[in-house]
Each structure stands twice: as C-alpha cells, then as structure tokens.
Structure 1
Amino acid sequence: MAQNTYISLNVVPIGANVLMEIDGLADEPIWQEAQSINVHTIGGANFVDGQTTVTIKALSNKHETFFLFTWADPTHSLSHLPIEKVSTGWKVVENGFYEFDEQSHYEDKFAVMLSKTCNSGADGTAHLGKTPFHDKPSNWHGKGYHASVDNKVRDLWHWKAVRTNDMILADDNFIGPLTKVLSGQRRYSAGYLPDGKESGAYVMNWLWYSPNGVIPKRLPKDALYEGDIIPWFGSKPYKKDDDHYPIGTRLPSVLYRSNRFEGDRADVRARGQWKNGQWTLELVRKNMTPSVHDVALEHGTCMWVSAFDHSQIAHTRHNLAISLKYIL
C-alpha cells in the first residue's frame, strides 16, 4: 500500500478496568491525554463553505475500541421532516425529500465507514452521477450510489441526532454488492443496507408518503407534546375524530415502535451532545463481532468519516483514508 493513501490514527491502549461512559461528554481524564488527528472534510450542504474539520481520538482495551469525534456545526438540527396541519389535513414539511435529498428539514448526522483496504473513492465504493450503473435505476438526486463492486463488505456506522441518539446507538449498516431491483421500489439503495435486527425500530409517522399530503399513523396522547420523536406508548392510533389540532401545528415524524434496536444492527453504542456550535460524539464497538457485515477493528483497518448538517445525503467527505494503528 502506497504511503500517501492514508493518514494514521494511533489507538491508545487503556486497561480493562477503565470506566468509559458513552454520553457524548468526553469528560474522562483519559480522553484529555489521548492523541488526536484532524481531518478536513468538504462538500457538505449547509456547513460554512461546505466544510468542517473532524477531530478524532481513539482508545482500546483490547476488547472494545472507543472513538471520540468532534466537529463544528453552527446549527443544532433536530427537526426531522415534521408533519404540519394544513387546511386539507397533514403534510410533510420538506425541501427536497421527494428527491431523497432533503437539505432543510432534517436532523444532523455522522457516518463512519470501515474497510480492510485504504483505496481512494471511499475504497472504491462511491459511484457518482445519476446513473452510475447502466443496468440499475437512476437515482433521484443525481449524486450517485454506494456499492462494493468487488463484492467485499464495508462496515458503515450511521449516527442520527434524532432517530438513534436517544437509543444510545449508531445505526449499524454496511455497503455490499449491488442489490436486486424490486418491483414497485421507489428508492433503490444500490449496495447500502442495514445490518439485521431481532427487534426495535423507528419508522416515519405516516401511512403513505405523498408530497400533497399524508395521514399520520399515531397522535401523541398529550395534545401539547413537544418532543423530537413520538414514543409508541406515549401515543395513540390516528383517528380523524381525535384530530383537533389547529392549522399550523407541527408534530414529529419519527415514531419509535420500541426503545432501541437489538441484534447486529445494535453493535455500535453512541451518544452525541451539541454545545456552542460543536458536536461531540462518542462511539464504542467490540473489536470483533460475529456479524458477516462488520469489519474487525484491528491494526491497519481503514476508516472514513462524514458529517451531515441537517441534510439527508449531502455529507462532507475526504479522500485519504484513516488507518488505525493499535499501540501495543
């Protein structure tokens, strides 16, 4: 591997008895002592000049690896496609969601990709343009697809400030080979898929999406509810007779069907905190998992990071991989 294809991140060893709280505060003394690297990322919607620098630290107790990511984000974005009461019913508040490229009414997010190799173009998984694969559907937004055309799996952790943060998780996904096109499928995901799960889910709080209007699945039991998500047990099935909300009322669109994921999709614990124009995100995962969709955390594993500022897919990016160097 050529020397200029990656930058190194030292993973500092810690004892198994060192208590690490995944709370997004990073107030453990060991974090203050750990070495850090800065990765300049570009091309993201809504960031100042589309750029933000991500500061990264890593620790490992030989069983798990802990990561600390911080990045500048001037806006704390927790409004995820709210639904608004209008004269004809309810409508999704959006500015690009119909093309799967929402850049206004979306939550902040952060993504981490892992691979066994450090090649450019996100290790060959980024395929740009509206129709990068001639035998597959064009994408709606014109930006491209993620897929592993070499049939090797890349791990992808997707932390979401509304949908997964209260679960204390990042959504454990993967990039694999191109999937089959399903009949009636409006959004083709190429090789980007979630890991399997045994239970737990968040869903959108509407029956069928239409830019012209939606019918909510559930309404909060508390008519003055002001949370970022609607909990299942704090809500009731939608009935038109119960819909007394005045025009202009906005409700969250994210509905928790249970508290959190269980199974492979819950392998990555994560918690973020926003303060004074900066996100601080802590993540931890076991170095080895039994999942075929996970990449081992070990010496030489390659990593890429991306930040999203209230955008659905328009994230920042960087070219050189980050190579994990476990210090013995």
Structure 2
Amino acid sequence: MINEGASGGPFEKKKLEVKVKAVYTKGGNISVLLSWPDSEQGMTKEAWKFSKGKWDRQKSDEDKVAINWEIKRIKNFATKGCAVVCHSDAKNHDDWKYHTETATERGDMWVWRAYTSNPLGHAEDGYVDDDSRKSDAGTGKAKKNETSDKKKPKYMQDPAKKPTVSGFLVDGETVEIKDYSKFKDGDVVPSWILSKFSGSMADIKANAKWANGRWTVMLQRKLKSGDKENDVQFDARRDYNLGIAVFNNSTKHNSYNSAPLKLKFD
C-alpha cells in the first residue's frame, strides 16, 4: 500500500510505502500488522529541557498511525477514502476538523501514538461523526504537564513510586515539583502525563517496536466489541472499507494518507 502526503502539509507529493497484514480468529480477535520506514523514532513529544536557568519545550511531536473504519456508510468513503472526512475548507489550519457530512454517517477511529499510547500497550479507540473526531468512553487521554503560566513542568516522577514505564510519567505516579533548584543543565522532564486505559477506549491492544529505521505496529481488538454505536463490528461474511494515515513526528494535519482500502475476510 502506498500512502501519499496530504495536500498542504510537509509530506505533500511525497509517498510512503506501508505494509499491512490482517488475520483473525473465529469468534475471537482481529489483528492488524502495519510496517513502514521511518529514519527517526519520534518519541520525545515536546519534552521539557532545563538549560541556562530556564525550561524550554523541545520542538518534537510523536509518530502515529490511524485507521478509519466505516461503521455507517460514509458518502464516497469507499471510492475517495479519508479525503471525504478531512474537511479543510478553512484557511486557518487550527480550524480544520475531521468529520462526516451527516449524522447518519459514522467511522471507527483507531489511533496509535508512539509516545502517548504505546508505552501502555494500547491505541486509542474513538469515532468520527458529523461534529468531529471523538474518543470512546473511558480513559486513556494523555494530559499536558505544565504550570499555569505554561513556562515549566508542574510534575515529576514520584520517587516513592515504581514507574509503570521507565522514562514516562503516568497518572497517579507523579508528584508536584516544589523545588526547581534541584534541576541542572540538561535535565529533561516529560511534558505529557500518560493516562491508563480503561473502558471502551481501551478496546485496542498495541505492540510496537522501532528497529533498523522501521516501525512495526500490531493492533488487536475483539471482532465484536461492547460498543455497537461507535465501534465497527467485524463479521467474516462482510467486507469493510477503511483508510490509513501515517504521521511522521508531525501534527494532526500533516500525514501520509492512503487511497481507499477494503478488508476482505477469507
């Protein structure tokens, strides 16, 4: 599968080859394996760095991959793919939003993030309707780690607690920074606090690795979930329309987007 850069972004007119495989077990799970080249592992996500007496956010984001499955028929999605929901009429990128045209159209969004979801073994489960893209019920959204003036980190790892994932801050394992004088040049503190996944948002398990300039990501979910309204329900007797977007250390508007794809069960 070839993903092409979205119009107007830094990947415009560029192409990325993404390898995709899917397997399922009857009455069990569907597993989707995605692999693509990436020369750098985007894993810092605006980390705070202390230097020369002040804190600065590093200019970095994270690598991501998203899959949009059609739940309720989205007009032209089968022939045009994600382009029909990537509405970008507004001149200001901040006003762009991802949504369907009508309330009768709905998609199931799986979003894997290298920094804010993968360390906890999940991809975020969400959906897209005629208003915007939303998260399923539950927890899993990362939170910004910053003071009210947004000039430095507010929390650090609580030394009295064993971290769930070394090098990352996880909700419930942090302590507020009271004494900033203890930090020295070069010290780095994460600018995001990860939230443990629960509820419908936790439906998608993830396992990923970056090696030799390549990401390999495995996403797995039950064929039938408990949320029929916001999750695609897989039936081996049917085909399913989908689109895939890959984000290379970039923001939500800068991605490689696939042509329309179809999953056929054998």
Question: Fold conserved (TM > 0.5)?
Answer: yes
Call closer, same or farther: CA 1:297–1:228 in 2, change over 3 Å: farther
- Percent of aligned positions that are identical: 21
Q: Within 5 A, what are the aligned runs for 1:138-287?
A: 139-140=93-94, 144-151=96-103, 152-178=105-131, 191-197=132-138, 199-208=139-148, 210=150, 213-214=151-152, 216-221=153-158, 227-232=166-171, 234-239=173-178, 241-257=179-195, 260-287=196-223
Question: What letter is aligned with 1:146?
Answer: Y
Distance 2:49 2:13 in 1: 31
Between the two proteins, the alignment pairs up a number of residues equal to 249
Which of 67, 75, 87 lines up with 1:112 in the alignment? 67
Instruction: Say which SS state the counterpart of residue 110 (structure 1) adopts.
Output: strand
Matching of residue 53 in structure 1 with residue 53 in structure 2: no
Call closer, same or farther: CA 1:172–1:294 in 2, change over 3 Å: same
Instruction: Say which SS state the counterpart of residue 182 (structure 2) adopts.
Output: coil
Is the Cα contact below 8 Å between 2:140 and 2:201 reproduced in 1?
Answer: no
TM-score by length of 1: 0.68
TM-score by length of 2: 0.83
Distance 2:19 2:166 in 1: 30
Is the Cα contact below 8 Å between 2:61 and 2:249 reproduced in 1?
Answer: yes
Distance 2:20 2:121 in 1: 19
* Structure 2, gaps ≥5 residues long: none
* Structure 1, gaps ≥5 residues long: 1-38, 95-104, 132-137, 179-190
> Displacement of 1:236 after TM fit?
1.7
Is the Cα contact below 8 Å between 1:229 and 1:253 reproduced in 2?
Answer: no
Higher strand share: 2
Is the Cα contact below 8 Å between 1:227 and 1:252 reproduced in 2?
Answer: no
Instruction: Say which SS state the counterpart of residue 301 (structure 1) adopts.
Output: strand
Distance 1:149 1:170 in 2: 26
Which of 239, 242, 253 lines up with 1:303 in the alignment? 242
Instruction: Say which SS state the counterpart of residue 124 (structure 2) adopts.
Output: strand
Distance 1:310 1:107 in 2: 4
1:283-327 CA-partner distances (Å, limit 9, x unpaired): 1111222311112223211111111111122110123x2111111
Call closer, same or farther: CA 1:46–1:126 in 2, change over 3 Å: closer
Is the Cα contact below 8 Å between 1:46 and 1:309 reproduced in 2?
Answer: no
1:262-283 CA-partner distances (Å, limit 9, x unpaired): 1010111111111111111111
Question: What letter is aligned with 1:287?
Answer: L
Is the Cα contact below 8 Å between 1:115 and 1:123 reproduced in 2?
Answer: no
- Per the alignment, residue 258 of structure 2 pairs with 318
Call closer, same or farther: CA 1:297–1:146 in 2, change over 3 Å: same
Q: Within 5 A, what are the aligned runs for 1:77-92?
A: 77-86=42-51, 89-92=54-57
- Per the alignment, residue 41 of structure 1 pairs with 3
Call closer, same or farther: CA 1:200–1:112 in 2, change over 3 Å: closer
Call closer, same or farther: CA 1:200–1:282 in 2, change over 3 Å: closer
Distance 1:111 1:244 in 2: 40
Call closer, same or farther: CA 1:272–1:86 in 2, change over 3 Å: same
Instruction: Say which SS state the counterpart of residue 68 (structure 1) adopts.
Output: strand
Q: Bigger radius of gyration, 1 or 2?
A: 1
Distance 1:301 1:248 in 2: 49
